[in-house]
Structure 1
Amino acid sequence: MHGAAGPWERAQAALNRRDLREARAALEAVLQHEPAHVPARVLLAGVHLGERRLRDASSQLLQAARALPDDAATVCRVAQALMRVGESAATHDVLQHPSIGSCRDGVILASLAHVHQSLGQHEHALALMDRARTLRFDNPDFRYFRSIQLQFNGRLDEAREELESCLRLGPTYGRASLTLARLRKATAASNQLAYIDEQLRRVAPGTEDHAAFEFARYKELEDLGDYAAAFEALARGNAIMHARVQHDPARDARHIDALIARCTPSFFAQPAEEADDDGPQPIFIVGLPRSGTTVLDRILGNHSQAMSAGELGDFAHQLRWAADLPGRTLLDDALIERLPSLDFADIGRRYLAQTRWRAGDRRFYVDKLPPNFLVAGLIARALPRARILHLHRDAMDVCFSNWRALFGDAYGYSYDLQALAMHHRHYRRLMAHWHAVLPGRILDVDYGELVSHPDAVAERVFAFCGLPMEAGVTDLSRNAAPVATLSSAQVREGIHGRGIAEWMRYESQLQPLHDAL
């Protein structure tokens, strides 16, 4: 290590002044002297990302993963970095490192729990959070995220208790107040309205906390039947988020236009070669958020031959790896521009390599990420044996459900009624295009039909996927697996149609949305 101290210090100084070229040279000098210097590889990966070289960043992190020291803090840092670049399989392997089992640092354990959460391993995430708690690690943020894990794991009473304790510690924690409002029905005798009103006087205006308290107020008032005041609170919350996120509808339109222009019948004339093995195959569920995708996922997860893998970002990561373009969004202009030159057979192979571990001993695994509707055609080209299910729902129902959701920064279109309507039109236009250029590859599933005739729809879905029908698959109450969506509490109640036409409570206020659709 002593021989590498000079270049290591030069690398730190260069990074402090954002000189990526000098930092890269210094870190390469460190690694030439000491190839197993894991912190240098992690920093060099960050430099490569800053220089827009995703593949080089991934390569450095995979080498770091093969040289891990017996130190849980370093293991955690490598796992976090691997997850950021989409190396899911390597992240999973790193999280088996023996140093984690002997770690006695609550901060590190809580950080590792977040990595497990990002992988969709919610039982492991909660177990690490519980270990951190026994080591007296505690703060409002930790209690909030532990409550979320309790909720995902189906322990709803404990989740409510943890949220209440979080709010006692963190008086302006809007997300906790909103989550609590969603976990229990407000009554005249038991509600948060006085507390929320107090926090709205104290919270920093225009923040996400501010918006979350308005969304929470909406839910409490709706439970109490005060629909006029509820809508006003919801409108205020959405206006705050719309101002924060600054969604660009023109960019969405440009992306859809570009996808349709590039993904012509000739684009699909030479599909990727099928994998020459009999390993587990993916079933994709796509559609708009809040369209019922979780219900369908739970039905499939009840089948003896299918494993629910959660909402995976792996296909998007492999698109970006093929294009060597880092980025945080599913699509962007540069990625769409490079689509014709990508090796889709390799994208398919890499996707399977990153995800098949999730299937366990099942023949199929379910990748339920609603925005993958944007790349459904690309999935079909890269993975010829993949099944693709498209969940669609009444336009007003799904748009209103998006508008009242509070997705953070994830779906910027959802905070403005006109942007919502435009996004819905683009979505329908793109799905029609995928059906036109890939006839028979995507099965449409209607949410209204699913909740009214679940067994008949399930039988049709299973036939499309190559699965035999099994008794009891539509009994969602028997599915004890963790579920990590906004509807994680509701789907444990079983299949119901209570969400149909809920927007009618606000028919006059939502007339602009109705007209735009």
Structure 2
Amino acid sequence: MNSPDASTAESHLRQQARQCIDTQQWEAAQATLESLATLVPEDAGVLVELANVVFRRGRLRESAALLLHVARRLPRDAQLIMTVAQRLVAVGETLAARGCLDLLAQAPEPPPELLVAQAHLRFSLGEIAPAKTLLERALAAGVDSPGELHLHAMLLQFSGDIERACTVLEECLRRWPNFGDAAMVLVNLRKQTPHANRLDAVQEQLRQLPVQDRDPGARFVRAEFEYAQFKILDDLERQQEAWDCLARCNAIMHELNPYNAEGEAAVTEALIRMPALGDATAATSSPAFEGPTPIFIVGMPRSGTTLLDRMLSSHSQVASAGEIIDFWRQLHWMADVPPAKAQGQLKVIQRSADIDYAELGARYLRQTQWRAHGRACYIDKLPANIQMVAFIRKALPHAPILHMVRDPIDTCFSNFKAMFGNVSPYSYDLQALAHYYRQYARLSRHWHDHLPGAMLDVSYSTLVRDPQHTLRQVLEHCGLALEASCLRPELNASPVATPSSAQVRESIHTRGVGQWRHYAKQLEPLRRAIAEDDSATAWSSPAR
């Protein structure tokens, strides 16, 4: 039992630590928590708080070490274990986080809110089936909120149960008519037709939303319903009306999520000017790795990466890991730089010459190979990994990198009409979109020029027009033989966590080729802006 003096000191330190954290005095908070941890070394909550403060001070590795220490000696405190799991994911310790989740799964009668938290974290790890099971247990236990029902619908959608997803979303809108998340997903799940559409309901809801409300949350909801109206009118081929709705939606989203052109250009420039990582690396001289091989799919978002993923993962020796950010997390861990958008990326690039790339590759494999589920290969499909090509090639020289290439205007228009929510700010303004695309094209050209053979270009138009020939080339590049199932991705029953999950469960088609021409007049400023950069237009060419 602590002495009265020790208890007083402990209480004082806890109060002082809280004051420092509340006022964001991180250095003082760290010193105070370290003193408190010395006084109460068995208090896991103090160590978790210390890990969080250390992370905020830019010391990712130290934060991860503290969390791993706690994970090895977890108390019987479900909420604390959940917090540790969430933070372990943030610092790139996925295996330890899954260990925490496995421990929580043993709880005999967990409260519904704990089931919901586990479902969200499993979902963030790409574990769709476990997330769905956990959330359905929570719903059966009485959880009843629009957010959780929306997540349930998404999990049903990603699992291929479109009918049940629609039923859940329709119930959401019946009970919460202004729930924009549900309206937006629902119109995307089915093609709207003249005889079956939600246009009247969406327009009625828009009439009820205050037009001049400046609250960001209210503005976001209006954007969602404008998007839903666009999707319906686009399906009905009422293009001018549809464009007006999309323009209003994206104007709001651009206002809420301004694009950082200066930061994006700075990252591209830094990657291009980054000293060559060289061939004589620790990674290439290290012992051959064991276990499944990652296959990276990179490119612009909405360039056909999901279709290629579904075709490849229909192969008997290939699993899809989905859109995971594990390579970024491990790279940040190696550079000891917490993620911080452009600033964090620039700091990682500055430290690139000092990174142990053999260890980077080993860490990535250790944290991800479970995703192969017994198959020889697993797909890491993250378009943004186009920025990681040099790092991937250095750390994992054995891993194929497939670069999906699509017509620039088709790609950009597909982004412009995607409504990604409060992410991807480049996608809500035509000039921002052109700028972002030019950075992508410039970087892609640089990789080809300075790392020849580092990635294989795969043309979207060629893939959908001549899938057998194109996919055979892709599989040969990956060391695999073509299987007939790869040409029938609509039969692939595995979950797919992407907004286009309903579309990619269809058979291969060419409807996405030239889709932008329905809005050629409105997209003329985009076409001119992209044409300012000659390298940008090169990416509509066939596979290299």
TM-score w.r.t. length of structure 1 = 0.95
Equivalent position of 1:447 in the other structure: 460
2:49 aligned residue (25, 43, 49): 43
Contact map agreement 2:389 2:454 (CA 8 A) in 1: no
1:135 paired with 2:141, answer: yes
Equivalent position of 2:281 in the other structure: 271
1:245 paired with 2:251, answer: no
Equivalent position of 1:301 in the other structure: 313
Equivalent position of 2:338 in the other structure: 326
Aligned length: 515
Distance (whole Å) between structure 1 residues aligned to residue 268 and residue 116 of structure 2 = 39
SS class of match (2:403): strand
Moved more, 159-168 or 108-117: 159-168
2:169 aligned residue (158, 163, 167): 163
Q: Deviations over 1:70-112 (max 9, x none)?
A: 3322221111111122221211221111555424311111111
Structure 1 letter corresponding to 2:434: A
Superposed, 1:2-81 pairs within 5 Å as 5-6=10-11, 7-81=13-87
Structure 2 letter corresponding to 1:199: Q
Structure 1 residue 263: deviation in Å?
4.3
Q: Deviations over 1:359-397 (max 9, x none)?
A: 221221110000100111211111111110000101111
Structure 1 residue 297: deviation in Å?
0.7
Equivalent position of 1:154 in the other structure: 160
Q: Tell me: CA distance 1:100–1:215, structure 2 relative to 1, closer, same or farther (3 Å).
A: farther
Distance (whole Å) between structure 1 residues aligned to residue 54 and residue 406 of structure 2 = 42
Q: Which runs of 5+ in 1 are unaligned?
A: none
Superposed, 1:354-373 pairs within 5 Å as 354-373=367-386
Distance (whole Å) between structure 2 residues aligned to residue 367 and residue 243 of structure 1 = 32
1:116 paired with 2:118, answer: no
Structure 2 letter corresponding to 1:106: P
Superposed, 1:88-127 pairs within 5 Å as 88-98=94-104, 100-127=106-133
Q: Tell me: CA distance 1:328–1:171, structure 2 relative to 1, closer, same or farther (3 Å).
A: farther
Q: Tell me: CA distance 1:137–1:36, structure 2 relative to 1, closer, same or farther (3 Å).
A: same
SS class of match (2:45): helix
1:512 paired with 2:525, answer: yes
Superposed, 1:118-517 pairs within 5 Å as 118-201=124-207, 202=209, 204-205=213-214, 207-264=219-276, 267-274=277-284, 276=287, 277-329=289-341, 332-517=345-530
Distance (whole Å) between structure 2 residues aligned to residue 32 and residue 375 of structure 1 = 41
Q: Tell me: CA distance 1:263–1:397, structure 2 relative to 1, closer, same or farther (3 Å).
A: farther
SS class of match (1:219): helix
Distance (whole Å) between structure 1 residues aligned to residue 335 and residue 188 of structure 2 = 40
Structure 2 letter corresponding to 1:351: Y
SS class of match (2:321): strand
Structure 2 letter corresponding to 1:58: A
What is the aligned-residue RMSD (CA, Å)? 1.8
Contact map agreement 1:271 1:384 (CA 8 A) in 2: no
Moved more, 466-475 or 112-121: 466-475
SS class of match (1:284): strand
Structure 1 residue 411: deviation in Å?
1.5
Distance (whole Å) between structure 2 residues aligned to residue 477 and residue 189 of structure 1 = 26
Structure 2 letter corresponding to 1:470: E
Q: Which runs of 5+ in 2 are unaligned?
A: 531-544
Contact map agreement 1:242 1:412 (CA 8 A) in 2: yes
Distance (whole Å) between structure 1 residues aligned to residue 42 and residue 464 of structure 2 = 55
Q: Deviations over 1:123-165 (max 9, x none)?
A: 0111000000111011111111111111111111111111112
Q: Deviations over 1:276-324 (max 9, x none)?
A: 2322121000000111101111111111211111111111111211221
Q: Deviations over 1:15-66 (max 9, x none)?
A: 2333323332332233334434221122111101121111111111111211
Structure 2 letter corresponding to 1:307: A
SS class of match (2:265): helix
Contact map agreement 2:135 2:152 (CA 8 A) in 1: yes
Contact map agreement 2:283 2:394 (CA 8 A) in 1: no
Moved more, 156-165 or 339-348: 339-348
